[in-house]
Amino acid sequence: MLRRLHATIFAVLFLALFVANTFLIGSVFFGGVLLALYLGAFGWELGGIITKSEKAVLRWWLGIWVLLSILLTVLTASYYLWAITATMVHIVILLTPPILLVAARKTAHRSLFAHAHNLWKEKRHRVPNTVWIVAAGSLLLLSLLFSVLGAHPVTDAVRSVWERLPESVFLLLLLSTALVFALLWRGRERALSLVLLSVLLFAAISVAAIVFPLGFGFDSFIHKATEAHLAEFGTITPKPFYYIGQYALVLLAHHGFLIPIDLADTFLVPVLTALLLPMAWYFAAAHIVRKKSVAMLTLSGMFLLPLSSFIVTTPQGLANLWTLLLILASIPYLLEHEHPRLRVLALGAIATLLIHPIAGIPTLLYFMFLATDPSRTNPRTPTTNRIVRILLISFASIVLPLSFAVNAFISGQSLGIDLAALNPLTWFSNLNLTVFFESRFDPLLDIVYLYGLNAMLVLVILATFAWFEYRKELSRRFRAILLMVMALAINYFIMSGALEFTFLIDYERANYAARLLPLIGLFLTPYVILGLGHLFMNIKTQPVILRGGALVLLVAIATSSVYMAYPRRDAYETSRGFNVSQADIDAVHLVESLAGPQPYLALANQSVSAAAISEIGFQYFEDLFFYPIPTGGALYEVFLQMNEQPSRETAKQALNLVPQHGDVNRLYFLVNNYWWQAPRIIETAKTTADDWRSVGEEGQVYVFEYLFDY
């Protein structure tokens, strides 16, 4: 009765504050506090409903993850049936407390407040002063790191975030990682260590979000513009069949808790990753290695994962996070038939599919492998079970190439197929598991790339070692994970060799296949945890010098992983893309002012096109966007021709692509000065254009105007 009273009082108080802030106060800060309370308190309640066998903190992350999965599923259904409006979001939030209170009636778990009270009253082991000093030192270093990042905003065009940051960033990151990993090595103050690790992980994956105030990447601008459109109108035409899961969470934060679209989108994936992944990893590791101190130490293995998936909010990145959380959540079920049960895992798989199909389809198939495991199927129908299993494995091995082929057929896009590439030698060469070892006579950089370009190989070696050591125990229990890794590998080989994405520009055609490699790494995570646990149990019995050496190696790998997660410009690699700059935004507004009320087309690179989407929104002439995206479209081909030789004939060719081209007689050609042929292009365009201007210091972007009379 006391537990229910606590929960009821909090629910009533929360609803009153929510209504007051939504309709009267309108505070963004207070909205953020309410969002934290909403996820924390009701995630706790839902976690207690889902599983009773886990310790309180370990089921907390599970409750938050499932709550978010339910919310994005409900709002996605609302989008397809009607729209995602502010009213719909308010209804969902207002219904959450009473539904959870009713569902929690039959459970005996303590309320969050009762648990906090018991923690305060219970006898606790004395934390040594050294631990407090190390914790305080790590917090100080992380605070300094955030301060340095915030003091160096980048608004001009650069290829890499590291170009504009001082070297002190790496020193602060290295030292704070060393202190946090030292606490993980101790393995006792687990709650404190998890909090510090979450802050460290957030610092590692939020560099771009903090340093680039105008936005980072290209895809994020499209998604933010779509979310802004949905926030205003509730729907968009035509309705896309994917990405809505991410949009639903952003709109939940925006409509429900008044957080601006740009802020909610920018930090969605970094915050959720830092909040949920450390607890989820420890949750799984505690079941796999069965020794809490070793499970804590395996948390350093998170930095072995492909962190680039989580540095910017995109549907693919969010879906990758949901995939990893589902894999980690399934570990108790795989090992001991414990909670969470299949219906909870099914919800996570469906939510992943609603976020992005490239991760969602494999995740749904993984759930099917769990549900059809031979040890859990009907023993009276062995033949039927075997046939279903074989068909499922066969389908899983070709599902992604098949889905692209179907999508290309429906949408009318060109998709080439090279059957000659389907041979084992080509498959093996595409895997590219060769050991990378080079020297550019830069010791620190050589060490970073020695790990960075062998990261996938390291994961495979760790996973193979774990499988070999524990194959008798795991051959049956981890069968679904192993099958999924093999199926994804076959999908990757087919997509990277046999499929030719001719509707994309040349250098982007390998992108879809490349997205499967991080997924393979994520499905290897349980084996990686097991392999690390085995190694750490042996290392902890070794002399101090060896343990210290292992800790130094872990810190070096983690720092290298953070560096490799972002686009780079160094002696080894030069990123192809530039970020959106203030000059790009100014150029977009200049074009708008020059055109006035008249319709126009613009030829520009992806950065300027992203700025146009962000600042102006979506403007189409039927199916033709007014800037040259996508890069595989006809307008982008004309843009490339214009870069080769600016001319009025090429400009007119672009206008002829407009369905009603007689009504559009203005074309603007924008040239960024960082293009290696920019001087030649600019001087040639000056002789062919009707007018030209430049924006930014020293002419960062040139705008050329072409006018035609029809």
Give the gyration radius of the chain's Cα atoms. Answer: 27
Q: For 119-132, what is each residue's pLDDT tens digit?
A: 445 555 677 889 89
Closest among 133, 311, 293 to 207, alpha carbons compared: 311
520 — alpha (psi -120 to 50), left (phi > 0) or beta? alpha
Which element (helix H / strand E) includes 692?
A: strand 691-695
Q: For 490-549, what is each residue's pLDDT tens digit?
A: 888 888 776 665 555 544 556 778 889 999 999 999 999 999 999 998 888 888 888 889
Would you list the domain boundaries of the chain? 137-564, 582-707
Q: Give residue for tokens 């060393």.
A: 178
Q: Across all residues in the chain, what is the average pLDDT? A: 87
pLDDT band for position 292 (cuts 50, 70, 90): confident
Per-residue H/E/C for 510-557: CHHHHCHHHHHHHHCHHHHHHHHHHHHHHHCCCCHHHHHHHHHHHHHH
Q: Name the phi and psi angles at 551, rounded to 5.
A: -65, -45
For residue 57, is pLDDT > 70? no
pLDDT number for residue 243: 92
User: For the chain, percent helix, then strand, then coil, each to nearest 5?
Assistant: 70, 5, 25
Contact by Cβ (8 Å): 218, 577:
yes
Orientation of helix 342-355 relative to helix 315-329, angle to 10° = 170
pLDDT band for position 707 (cuts 50, 70, 90): very high
**C-alpha to C-alpha distance for 527 and 465, rounded to whole angstroms:** 8
Q: Kindly report the length of the chain.
A: 710
pLDDT number for residue 10: 86
pLDDT number for residue 110: 57
**C-alpha to C-alpha distance for 212 and 104, rounded to whole angstroms:** 43
Q: For 320-355, what is each residue's pLDDT tens digit?
A: 999 999 999 999 888 876 667 788 999 999 999 999
For residue 224, is pLDDT > 80? yes
For residue 156, is pLDDT > 60? yes
For residue 171, is pLDDT > 80? yes
**C-alpha to C-alpha distance for 706 and 668, rounded to whole angstroms:** 6
Contact by Cβ (8 Å): 267, 209:
yes
**C-alpha to C-alpha distance for 18 and 28, rounded to whole angstroms:** 12
* pTM, to two decimals: 0.92
User: Which residue would you say has higher pLDDT here, 113 or 201?
Assistant: 201
pLDDT number for residue 58: 73
pLDDT number for residue 111: 57
The CA-CA-CA angle for residues 427, 432, 435, to 5°, reads 145
In this prediction, residues 61-74 reach a mean pLDDT of: 95
For residue 692, is pLDDT > 80? yes
pLDDT band for position 189 (cuts 50, 70, 90): confident
Contact by Cβ (8 Å): 102, 7:
no
What is the DSSP-derived secondary structure letter of residue 240? P
pLDDT band for position 98 (cuts 50, 70, 90): very high
**C-alpha to C-alpha distance for 625 and 620, rounded to whole angstroms:** 5
For residue 191, is pLDDT > 70? yes
For residue 52, is pLDDT > 80? no
In this prediction, residues 669-673 reach a mean pLDDT of: 95
In this prediction, residues 138-155 reach a mean pLDDT of: 95
Q: Give residue for tokens 């099917």.
A: 368
Closest among 122, 114, 212 to 164, alpha carbons compared: 212
For residue 439, is pLDDT > 50? yes
Structure tokens at 128: 């040594």
pLDDT number for residue 120: 47
User: Which residue would you say has higher pLDDT here, 32 or 503?
Assistant: 32
In this prediction, residues 694-709 reach a mean pLDDT of: 91
pLDDT band for position 472 (cuts 50, 70, 90): confident
Residue 166 preceded by cis peptide, ω within 30: no
